[in-house]
């Protein structure tokens, strides 16, 4: 380079800096003269903005490498993978039209306009072509062109979805990426070349409406995933198989827990006897703990006049998630999507003094929300569900203490059900919000102070609060490391004002209480689905619908086996007998499939000795025991698994 070439200064992550010639590629600037960039570096942040390693630097900049270990690195890697897959599809099926192809959690997908669904054979051919494209190691090249020129470019290629995307944006220029002969509309960044994506697997095909709107055309979606090594991909695929094995829809049917039937309607759950027993155990524990924690239990109807939902703001803010109102005589009635207005009306039914506060109402209230058929998913996304709901009304000086109590209560409940890892977020004021800045600041400070006071690690989620107040969201991690949103604690400035809530203060004047919405488990249906997958259907003894099954070897032991079942039930254990004229090995396998914690085998020797031969569901032989000893064993299991059966702090 000529001696007069302009130089710029780049600052590296360790704080050191160096001068490099203007137009040096960002990747080269990271390494310096003669350096070699580690293969794990996929892209780079330039002054905080993610960009390609090949981007020419024009001014002083701070640089930070992006690797697969970061969330952004995974997104770059997997979005690059979607382009590789899209190229393979276009080469094999030239008439396929490109729609969108984002990275998603642990994978990616691409939507195509195509006349038929892609078959498993198609996916095999596409994946083989993907591997060819990886081996070709085409560089990803970025280009920019005026938006109108880009529209003409894609229109000439028959890519109507790309044209629609371009026509919906206001940017004057559009960025495109090429690899070999393939060109796609994309903001980037991407990995340097197709060969940098080491291991790709196409997983499945599905239908998807364009822009998620069922009024639009049905597209063909291909899901896939990718990792930097084959070993990492293999481990992920093994995890997917385990997830499939634990799928609550599959286990719910196999274990005869629940069904969702077309004759009744999508998103509406039938609880079979064994599933209903587990639900009863969950709900009984929930009620027991709430009463001990100073809550008052309430019940509310499933419908109310539509005017109630106008007052609460649901008609304005939540209409798309509500069922169509029904006409009753001269009034319109609405299936309830929330329980909160009912609890508010209970509060309003009496004059309240500052001495009455805090007031805590709890309800296992069934609500109904309109969800599109395409998003329904077993127990995890339904149209009718029971929310473990509570609403607290308190004075401003009580807010932090009440939030702290709810936090303690939340962790107590979740740990009892076997969850010990959590992700906690504080969501702050969004752009559109009600309430004064002072109220928002006070409430947010109370949430943060409550978390800090309990040493709970948390992240701030800026602008993600609900319109009526800030909130704490708690995600639980299951045995496979998946995070599930369950618990929420929300401060509400909106409803106390809308409904004119008040209490008489120490000064004799009317004051507005603060309202806290809170759910610990989320919904019973969704939480039950999570529990099924967390335990793979093998519920701990305290939650198992059947804790022990007595298996007779021959008909001669029938009477004794029935007596053992009666003794266990009399002691409060959930027991049943398998007295069929079948081989005992078959009965054992059936009990293991049903995931019964204890199998009590009864033969001639056991009958003569007044004992049972005990097997655990994992296959462990626990030896001969008296029925009384089995009762003690079950009780010890329950006591060990439920240390939280204490009043909440």
What gap in Å lies between CA 550 and CA 560, rounded to an integer? 10
Query: In angstroms, rounded to a whole number, what is the distance separating the alpha carbons of residues 497 and 324?
Result: 27
Cβ(242)–Cβ(523) under 8 Å? no
- Of 340, 394, 486, 573, which residue is the catalytic one? 340
C-alpha torsion angle, residues 49, 50, 53, 54 (rounded to 10): -70
Write down the catalytic residue from 246, 352, 391, 615: 391
Measured distance CA(439)–CA(434) in Å, rounded: 10
389 is an active site residue:
yes
User: For residues 336 and 411, what is the distance between their CA atoms, to the nearest angstrom?
Assistant: 28
| Residue in 179, 387, 490, 557 annotated catalytic | 387
What strands, in cross-sheet order, belong to the sheet with 7-11? 17-21, 7-11, 61-67, 41-46, 49-51
Beta bridge partners, 504, equal 353, 510
| In contact, 96 and 116? CB cutoff 8 Å | no
Catalytic residue among 389, 478, 492, 578: 389
Among residues 290, 517, 518, 617, which one is catalytic? 517
Q: Known catalytic residue: 471?
A: yes
391 is catalytic: yes
Q: How far apart are CA 381 and CA 373, in angstroms?
A: 10
The dihedral through the CA atoms of 439, 442, 445, 451 has a sign that is negative
Report DSSP letters for 228-278, one per residue: SSHHHHHHHHHHHHHHHHH-HHHHHHHTT-EE--TTT-TT--EE-HHHHHH
CA distance 383 to 175: 41
Residue from 190, 471, 574, 595 carrying the catalytic annotation: 471
Is the alpha carbon torsion for 191, 196, 201, 205 positive or negative? positive
Count of other CB atoms within 10 angstroms of residue 226: 29
Q: Maximum Cα–Cα distance for the chain, whole Å?
A: 104
Catalytic site residue 369? yes
Give the Cα separation of 205 and 501 in Å (integer): 52
The one catalytic residue in 138, 162, 352, 369 is: 369
**Is 272 a known active-site residue?**
no
Which residues are known catalytic residues?
340, 369, 387, 389, 391, 471, 517
């Amino acid at each position: 380079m000529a001696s007069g070439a302009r130089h710029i200064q780049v600052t590296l992550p360790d704080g050191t800096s160096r001068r490099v010639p203007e137009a040096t590629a960002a990747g080269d600037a990271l390494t310096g003269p003669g350096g070699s960039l580690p293969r794990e570096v996929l892209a780079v942040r330039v002054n905080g903005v993610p960009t390609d390693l090949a981007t020419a630097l024009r001014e002083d900049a701070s640089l930070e490498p992006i690797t697969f270990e970061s969330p952004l690195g995974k997104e770059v890697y997997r979005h690059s993978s979607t382009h590789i897959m899209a190229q393979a599809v276009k080469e094999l099926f030239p008439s396929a039209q490109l729609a969108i192809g984002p990275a998603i959690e642990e994978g990616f997908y691409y939507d195509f306009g195509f006349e038929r669904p892609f078959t498993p054979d198609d996916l095999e051919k596409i994946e083989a072509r993907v591997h060819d494209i990886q081996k070709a190691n085409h560089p990803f090249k970025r280009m920019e062109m005026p938006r109108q020129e880009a529209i003409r470019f894609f229109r000439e290629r028959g890519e109507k979805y790309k044209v629609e995307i371009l026509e919906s944006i206001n940017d004057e220029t559009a960025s495109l990426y090429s690899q070999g002969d393939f060109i796609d509309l994309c903001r980037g960044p991407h990995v340097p070349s197709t060969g940098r994506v080491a291991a790709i697997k196409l997983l499945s095909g599905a239908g998807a409406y364009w822009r998620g709107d069922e009024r639009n055309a049905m597209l063909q979606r291909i899901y896939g995933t990718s990792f930097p090594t084959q070993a990492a991909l293999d481990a992920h695929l093994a995890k997917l198989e385990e997830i499939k094995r634990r799928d609550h829809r599959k286990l719910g049917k196999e274990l005869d827990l629940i069904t969702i039937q077309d004759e009744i309607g999508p998103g509406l759950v039938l609880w079979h006897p064994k599933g209903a027993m587990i639900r009863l155990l969950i709900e009984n524990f929930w009620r027991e703990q709430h009463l001990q924690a100073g809550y008052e239990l309430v019940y509310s109807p499933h419908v109310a006049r539509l005017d109630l939902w106008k007052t609460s703001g649901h008609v304005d803010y939540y209409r798309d998630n509500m069922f169509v109102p029904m006409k009753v005589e001269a009034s319109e009635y609405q299936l309830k999507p929330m329980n909160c207005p009912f609890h508010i009306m209970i509060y309003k039914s009496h004059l309240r003094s500052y001495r009455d506060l805090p007031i805590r109402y709890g309800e296992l209230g069934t609500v109904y929300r309109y969800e599109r058929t395409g998003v329904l998913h077993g127990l995890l996304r339904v149209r009718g569900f029971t929310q473990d709901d509570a609403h607290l009304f308190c004075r401003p000086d009580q807010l932090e203490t009440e939030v702290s109590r709810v936090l303690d209560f939340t962790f107590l409940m979740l740990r009892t059900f076997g969850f010990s890892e959590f992700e906690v977020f504080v969501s702050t004021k969004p752009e559109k919000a009600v309430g004064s800045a002072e109220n928002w600041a006070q409430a947010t400070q109370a949430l943060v102070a409550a978390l800090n006071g309990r040493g709970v690690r948390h992240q701030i989620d800026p602008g993600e609060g609900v319109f009526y107040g800030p909130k704490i969201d708690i995600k639980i991690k299951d045995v496979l490391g998946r995070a599930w949103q369950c618990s929420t604690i929300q401060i509400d400035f909106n409803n106390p004002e809308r409904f004119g809530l008040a209490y008489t203060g120490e000064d004799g004047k009317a004051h507005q209480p603060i309202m806290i919405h809170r759910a610990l488990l989320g919904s019973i249906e969704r939480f039950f689905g999570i529990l099924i997958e967390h335990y793979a259907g093998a519920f701990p003894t305290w939650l198992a619908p059947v804790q022990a099954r007595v298996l007779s070897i021959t008909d001669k032991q029938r009477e004794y086996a029935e007596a053992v079942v009666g003794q266990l039930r009399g002691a409060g254990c959930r027991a049943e007998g398998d007295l069929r004229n079948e081989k005992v090995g078959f009965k054992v396998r059936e009990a293991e499939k049903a995931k019964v914690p204890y199998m009590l085998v009864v033969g001639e020797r056991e009958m003569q000795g007044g004992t049972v031969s005990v097997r655990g569901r994992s296959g462990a032989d626990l030896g001969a025991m008296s029925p009384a000893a089995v009762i003690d064993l079950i009780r010890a299991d329950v006591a060990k698994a439920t240390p939280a059966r204490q009043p909440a702090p």
